[in-house]
Structure 1
Amino acid sequence: MKLPERIEQFLNEGLAGKSDATKRGYGYALKSFADWLEGSDADLDTFVRSDVQFYVQYLEKVKKRSASGINRDFMAIKAFAHWQGRPDVVADIRRTKAPSITTKAPEWLTPSQRKQLIRDVDRAGNKRDYAIVMTLLGCGLRVSELVALNRDDVVMSERKGTIIVRSGKGGKQRIVPVPSETRRAIERYLEERTDDNEALFLSNRRERISVRTVQNMLQQYGVHPHQLRHTYVKGLVDAGTPLATIMSLTGHTRAEMVAWYSTPSEDEKQAVVERLFLD
């Protein structure tokens, strides 16, 4: 997607140090806002506070966007306005409050669902897809982090391995250990590669794989990438892993995000009440 020069300037100057994923998200949000402004005889340099308020209402009532999605777009507009030195145009904007992260447990796979997914992908026979699933489950990466991996970001030996995540959220780097089954899956995939492409995972066109391709592949098995990351974090929480260790492994910067995984799922609550008459 071709972005206006003004947006490109903001991404390079105002978001210096931010991850590529953050820049893409902000760029897309600002491009959508700029397109909408054209219909009201305004642009990114002349919009006023009422434009922002009406745009938020447009996203809510016409586009039927979720509260979290609207807030993400608004944060992009807010950052852009502050970069312009015009914080007044985004002051006190009314918008629907997103649900608290602690009110509902994230979606993770049960142990049996996790095993079934591994079996299904393994039986399909695609070594790349199997390596991707095992990396997401075994290392808890965000899909944007996974597709950005290069071969030299993975260091493995017979007894241990590590992945260097260079494109973490907020531009932060971290090192994640790789369990043995994930190491084996990656090694088997790389054994069939004959190219010299630096990317760890390639598309069928022999180019770096995209987020959308990974999402579409997982959709065939009835899951999405974030479910696999949630499953990884849930496993760490259930194993009693110290909070500092979980935050270091996952790249979470807020303790309440990790606490979120202690929220019981609907299935877990149902199982508890069913046992009331069995014990």
Structure 2
Amino acid sequence: MLERFISEGLLGKSETTIKTYGHAIYQFEKWLDGAGTDLVNYARSDVQQYIDYLASKKKSASTINKLWNAIKAYSKWSGKQEAIEDISVVKVTDIKKQAPKAMDKLERNKLIRDIDRTGNRRDFAIIMTLLMTGIRVSELVALDCSDVDLSHRKGSMLVRSGKGNKERTLPLNVDVRRAIEKYLEERKSDNHSALFLSNRKERISIRSVQHLMEKHGHNAHQTRHSFITGLVRAGEDISVIQSLSGHSSADMILRYSMPSEEDKRNAVDRIFKD
């Protein structure tokens, strides 16, 4: 049933969704087996008890909701709609009311220094591109050399793999241009189309970039959050930020203006100090 769901029920879905839902239903199937049933014969009480079990294991609300969405999709596909009626699920905090975690100036500068000191020009070019353009990691790894136009006074980058397959052209400041140019100087002898290559001279993977960030104490989303937060705090027009970030919704931009927990702590620390 699981294999059929992946091949039939998720037809046309993204690779990420297929992987996430497939793993979620595999975990649900294992739990059902321990409860004495399977993906064909489970009932509504099984679904509710599984959701309650996840909550008892201190799974986050967002994790539980991802698994719940997969179970809903599977149940609808397999004709078991009754099994998902009136299920009580932990509510997720509205993402639009949360300020994404961004790096502060000290964290950004330390990250830049630490990677620069390694002498690895590729890694430095990657981090500067992420920080100064705010592109997604998936967009970064899809970049080709032909997508970058560099000159002494200006530069631009064509992002072809944005969400919804929307293209956008981003300006590159002098720091990014220099980092990419220095990296490409090392690659004069190769003709690979990909802009960023792995140590095996293949297009770099998303996981490799994530590992680079994790090695320096950050996650790959923080560079994008930092870029957009910087634009918001600088008072840039929302339409400009949308164009640069590739966000289709102004609501997604507005959440970057929400105060973070650190902003609130700093405000309380500063009270009556002036």
TM-score normalised over the length of structure 2: 0.83
Q: For residues 60 and 153 of structure 1, what CA distance do their matches in structure 2 show?
A: 48
Deviations 1:66-118 (A, max 9, x none): 11111112222223333445443323221111223355432111123212211
Q: For residues 42 and 273 of structure 1, what CA distance do their matches in structure 2 show?
A: 53
2:9 paired residue number: 10
Pairing 1:205-216 to 2, within 5 Å after superposition = 205-216=200-211
1:49 to 9, 26, 44: 44
Is the Cα contact below 8 Å between 2:5 and 2:77 reproduced in 1?
Answer: no
Q: For residues 130 and 26 of structure 1, what CA distance do their matches in structure 2 show?
A: 35
1:156 paired residue number: 149
1:272 paired residue number: 267
Deviation of the 1:56 alpha carbon: 1.7
TM-score normalised over the length of structure 1: 0.82
2:111 to 104, 107, 117: 117
Q: Which amino acid aligns with 1:7?
A: I
Q: For residues 175 and 50 of structure 1, what CA distance do their matches in structure 2 show?
A: 48
Q: For residues 66 and 153 of structure 1, what CA distance do their matches in structure 2 show?
A: 42
For the structure 1 residues 186 and 68, does the alpha-carbon distance in structure 2 shift closer, same or farther, using more than 3 Å as the test? Answer: same
2:170 paired residue number: 177
Q: For residues 140 and 98 of structure 1, what CA distance do their matches in structure 2 show?
A: 26
Pairing 1:57-76 to 2, within 5 Å after superposition = 57-62=52-57, 64-76=58-70
Gaps of 5+ in 1: none
Q: Which amino acid aligns with 1:75?
A: N
1:107 paired residue number: 101
Is the Cα contact below 8 Å between 1:153 and 1:164 reproduced in 2?
Answer: no
Q: For residues 24 and 190 of structure 2, what CA distance do their matches in structure 1 show?
A: 36
Deviation of the 1:140 alpha carbon: 1.5
Q: Which amino acid aligns with 1:225?
A: A
2:236 paired residue number: 241
2:225 paired residue number: 230
Deviation of the 1:230 alpha carbon: 0.9
Is the Cα contact below 8 Å between 2:139 and 2:159 reproduced in 1?
Answer: no
Q: For residues 91 and 197 of structure 1, what CA distance do their matches in structure 2 show?
A: 53
For the structure 1 residues 278 and 128, does the alpha-carbon distance in structure 2 shift closer, same or farther, using more than 3 Å as the test? Answer: same
For the structure 1 residues 78 and 123, does the alpha-carbon distance in structure 2 shift closer, same or farther, using more than 3 Å as the test? Answer: same
Q: Which amino acid aligns with 1:188?
A: K
1:131 paired residue number: 125
3-state SS of 1:161 partner = strand
Q: How many residues align?
A: 268
List 4+ stretches of structure 1 deviating above 6 A: none
Is the Cα contact below 8 Å between 1:7 and 1:31 reproduced in 2?
Answer: no
Is the Cα contact below 8 Å between 1:4 and 1:31 reproduced in 2?
Answer: no
Q: Which amino acid aligns with 1:30?
A: I
Q: Which amino acid aligns with 2:214?
A: Q
Deviation of the 1:174 alpha carbon: 3.3
1:93 paired residue number: 87
3-state SS of 1:163 partner = strand
Compare 248-257 and 215-224 and name the one that shifted more: 248-257
2:199 to 200, 204, 209: 204
Q: For residues 55 and 146 of structure 2, what CA distance do their matches in structure 1 show?
A: 41
Gaps of 5+ in 2: none
* Superposition RMSD in Å: 2.7
3-state SS of 2:158 partner = strand
For the structure 1 residues 31 and 196, does the alpha-carbon distance in structure 2 shift closer, same or farther, using more than 3 Å as the test? Answer: farther
1:27 paired residue number: 22
1:217 paired residue number: 212
3-state SS of 1:77 partner = helix
Q: For residues 18 and 243 of structure 2, what CA distance do their matches in structure 1 show?
A: 23
